Amino acid sequence: MPRAEVILMADSSKFGRKSPNVVCSLESVDKLITDAGIDPAFRQALEEKGIDVIITGESNE
């Protein structure tokens, strides 16, 4: 059975913060949808992990 695609949606204020609530590990995430406020260093690190980062309001073509 094929694995489902995991898409995480989080606004940029969630990055760089610790939380007692963990939904899943980043290793499980295929795509992240966030806003343009994400720190470029976080975006680069996520993309280096193979996560497709989609910024709302940007053309992803």
At residue 3, does pLDDT exceed 90?
no
For residues 47 and 30, what is the distance between their CA atoms, to the nearest angstrom?
10
For residues 52 and 30, what is the distance between their CA atoms, to the nearest angstrom?
6
At residue 33, the pLDDT reads 97
Q: Would you give the DSSP letter of residue 8?
A: E
- Is 56 in contact with 36 (CB distance < 8 Å)? yes
The residue ranges of every structural domain in the chain are 7-55
Q: What is the pLDDT of residues 30-53, one digit of tens each?
A: 999 999 999 999 999 999 999 999
